[in-house]
Amino acid sequence: MAFSIEVNHVKHTVDVDGDMPLLWVLRDELNLKGSKFGCGAGLCGACTVHLDGHAVRSCIMPISAVGNAAVATIEGMADHAVGKKLQAAWLELDVPQCGYCQAGQIMSATDLLGKNPHPTDADIDAAMAGNVCRCCSYTRIRAGIKKAALSRSTSAR
């Protein structure tokens, strides 16, 4: 059946079963490969995207449940006020190792900084514990979030 979906401010129509997870709609119908498949069960966060600005695990979100919500993915973060700061911090601090989880990390971190511009270590732990980095680049993920938070407050002044 046909579904209308808005991804990174662009409207699409896809003809798929209603139980197809948003992840596979993004990856295999819309050819947006940035969101990653890791566990298929919402346990690793590699598939994290935003629905109306809130981080969700797209591997367990059926397309039929998306409705009119605006979807944002890693491919849209270069145009996102917070997302682009995080991308810049990730580059500056050389955060990735294999890099497979990092799209999901940035999407969760963008959600965090949107709600809490100056997170403490405990805030970061709570918000980011759903995102597995198998290479354990956690020290730099934490530093990247703090750097982005700082650069936001600096540029806001």
Binding site for another protein (CB under 8 A): 16-17, 19-21, 24, 28-29, 31-41, 43-44, 46, 73-75, 77-78, 86-87, 90-92, 94-103, 106, 124-126, 128-129, 131-142
C-alpha–C-alpha distance, residues 74 and 80, integer Å: 10
In the complex with another protein, the residue whose CB is nearer, 6 or 29, is 29
Tokens at 9, concatenated:
């401010």
Q: Tell the smallest beta-carbon distance from residue 67 to another protein (Å).
A: 20
In the complex with another protein, the residue whose CB is nearer, 56 or 157, is 56
In the complex with another protein, the residue whose CB is nearer, 98 or 157, is 98
Concatenated DSSP letters for 40-99? Answer: SSSSS-TTEEEETTEEEEGGG-BGGGTTTPEEE-GGGGGGSHHHHHHHHHHHHHT--SS-
Q: Which helix (DSSP H) or strand (DSSP E) does residue 139 occupy?
A: helix 138-156
Q: Tell the smallest beta-carbon distance from residue 157 to another protein (Å).
A: 25
